[in-house]
Structure 1
Amino acid sequence: MHTYSVTNNQQLTPTTLLVTLKNTEPSRPFDFQPGQYAAISFFRRRRPTAARCFSIVSSPTNPDILQFSMRTKGRFTRALAGAQPGDVVKVRGPFGGFVFDPASEPEVVLLAGGIGITPFMSMIRYAAATRLANRVTLLFSCASQDDVPFGDELRELERQNSNFRAVFVISQEPVDKLAGERVASGRINADIIAKASAGLVRRPTYFICGPQPFMRAMNKLLHAQGVDGHRVMTEAFSQGPNHQTGKIRSWPFNIYFLGAASLAIGSFVVMVADLLKTLPATSASATNNVTASSLTNSRQADLDSLVNSLPETANTAPSSAAAVATASQPTTTTVSTSTAPKPTPVAAPRCTTTASGVTTCN
């Protein structure tokens, strides 16, 4: 979020407001492309308002200054019209893909209905400031000659940039105040589009912005003229609780949808990444378990094989039990296990005694 302050509020027409803001944080420029929009909010009675989306009408060549234009018909826009110089405005964005690409679109036709002129002002100002060689043709449909936002500036930009021309289409006469300009009465039709595109050498890209009925009518006209769908860029515009909506490039709907989709995809990627981190440990543990099980089974098989290879013997359990019982009782019998030969007995000597008392032994 960026912080700006109000420098000027200007009523362009009885129903159109132009708000000019200055960046209070020069170290944080607000970079955007021609045709994008931003969400703005401010403080009313010391309380923050809800954010509303509006097209940026200023050129990206001066990012420290932002300008927004809107119809003053709701509580938010009427309150914004009462903002004083120095009041703080919070800006979020930029948003939107309804942008002019000079590198790939050498010739463009801009079809604007009423306040739908706002994104085109940024494109036209940018083309003049950078001296683009791209040919830009504007067909601007308005209800009356007294309600043509940026009319004077458009005529001045046409004089400054030979590659830009504007055609004003006024549905309600008179049109005397636009004398000398390219002006047509009624509504934009096939003949007006054909005449505006007659001088273009290449097949142009068509940008459409305005209320829903205007959008449908312009799409129908271009389709009837055989314009390929990929050369038609649309941006539906309405001021109200839902603000901008559209068929091809809806202002906030596509952004919110893409944001939600990106969040879901990001969450899925994080979840998969966390899952992948656990796979090596799980795999190693499983491998260890399998290896341990295999070793255990192998050892058991070896033991079984060894036992089965021993010769069968008679069951000596009873005699063993008797021997154990006998050994457990005390005994005084000594069993000699020596293998030495027994000694031969010696005969006792014979002794005789004479009458004189002499004893002689043989």
Structure 2
Amino acid sequence: MAMHASKLRGREQVAHGTMAFHLDKPAGFQFKPGQAIDVVLLESPAGDAQNARHTFSIVSAPFENQLAIATRMRDSAFKRTLGALPVGARIAIEGPSGSLTLHNDRARPAVFIAGGIGITPFMSIVRQAAHDRLHQQLVLLYSNRRPEDAAYLAELQELERHNADFRLIATMTLMSSSSQPWTGSQGLIDAALVKRATDALIKPIYYLAGPPGMVEAMRQTLNDARIDDDDIRSEEFYGY
């Protein structure tokens, strides 16, 4: 994979404890929605070169003129250093990498199942689909503890309003600790919710992204529903 020079252009909070970072898009840099990059800090945090690199799914879509990543701000040497970088700081990016990209058969729907920060690769796919006016059925099941924790929720709701081929089903698992109202689904993404969301779809392909436990549980749920592994694609998010 090629290494490219970039700079930090801005940051914003996109959910409780979750920050998005906007980066210069190097000239000629190309990627597919759903792919990832390695962000390499030019000064190793804590003097440890192994802590200077982290892989992130690209949140921005290829049509956008900047790159964006988003991450939960855990207390790690890398994330402390990234969070403290001044705007304009030089970094390097390597990539793109990853194969969690939308299949080419437009007649087959895509069902995205995301837990928490696992939403990031799907944001790029859904944004690009809206931009391209892609006529392919896309369904997103998105699980968080509370609305406060759901990165890009408002944008996804807006994308659903403007794209007849995109359906969002967001569900919250811990509304008892939320200070915001929520009238949508509550509870885990289980077999019943998947069935309701996909009953009308013909031969969908499933995409899973989130913490390893969530991805493993969802794969088992789909297998129990007789979904073949050939129709399931996944990416596990470690250390987020």
TM-score normalised by length of structure 2: 0.90
Secondary structure of the 1:178 match is coil
Distance 2:182 2:35 in 1: 29
Aligned partners of 2:106 and 2:135 also within 8 Å? no
Deviation, structure 1 residue 121: 0.7
- In structure 2, the CA distance between the partners of 1:165 and 1:7, relative to structure 1 (3 Å rule), is same
Task: Give the aligned partner of residue 288 of structure 1.
Answer: none
Q: In the alignment, what sits opposite 2:231?
A: 231
Q: Cα deviations across residues 43-93 of structure 1 (Å, max 9, x unaligned)?
A: 34898762111100110123x411001111022112212222211120100
Structure 1 residue 109 and structure 2 residue 111: aligned?
Answer: yes
Spell out the pairing of 1:114-133 with structure 2 (5 A cutoff): 114-133=116-135
Task: For 1:170, give the aligned amino acid.
Answer: M
Please list, as runs of the form range in 1=range in 2, the aligned pairs for 1:32-43 lying within 5 A after superposition.
32-43=31-42
Match of 1:142 among 132, 138, 144: 144
Structure showing greater radius of gyration is 1
The separation in 1 between residues aligned to 2:182 and 2:77, in whole angstroms, is: 32
Task: Give the secondary structure class of the aligned counterpart of 2:56.
Answer: strand
Which blocks of at least 5 consecutive residues in structure 2 are unaligned? none
For residue 109 of structure 1, report the CA deviation from its aligned partner.
0.5
Secondary structure (helix, strand or coil) at the match of 1:40 reads strand
Unaligned runs of 5+ in 1: 241-362
Q: How far apart are the structure 2 equivalents of 1:45 and 1:205? A: 40
Contact 2:42 2:92 survives alignment (8 Å): no
Task: Give the structure 2 partner of residue 50 of structure 1.
Answer: 52
68-77 or 96-105: bigger deviation: 96-105
Quick one: which of 170, 179, 182 aligns to 1:178? 182
1:221: how far off?
0.9
RMSD of aligned Cα (Å): 2.0
2:206 maps to 1:206: yes
Q: How does 1:343-358 map to 2 (within 5 A)?
A: none
Contact 1:134 1:163 in 2 (8 A): yes
Q: Which residue of 1 is the match for residue 29 of structure 2?
A: 30
Q: Is the 8 A contact 1:71 1:239 kept in 2?
A: no
Partner residue in 1 for 2:197: 196
Distance apart, 1:106 and its partner CA: 3.0
Q: Please give the residue correspondences for 1:1-362 in structure 2 after superposition, counting only pairs within 5 Å.
A: 1-23=3-25, 25-26=26-27, 29-44=28-43, 50-62=52-64, 64-73=65-74, 74-103=76-105, 106-174=108-176, 177-179=181-183, 183-200=184-201, 202-239=202-239
Shift of 1:104: 5.2
- Residue 250 of structure 1 corresponds to none
* Amino acid across the alignment from 2:35: Q
Structure with the higher helix share, 1 or 2: 1
TM-score calculated relative to the size of structure 1: 0.61
> How many angstroms apart in 1 are the aligned matches of 2:118 and 2:160?
19
Deviation at 1:98, TM superposition (A): 1.4
In structure 2, the residue matched to 1:278 is: none
Does structure 1 retain, via aligned residues, the 8 Å contact 2:108–2:203?
Answer: no
Q: Which has the higher strand share?
A: 2
CA contact (8 A) 1:57 1:119 kept: yes
1:38 alignment partner AA: I
Distance 1:125 1:234 in 2: 20
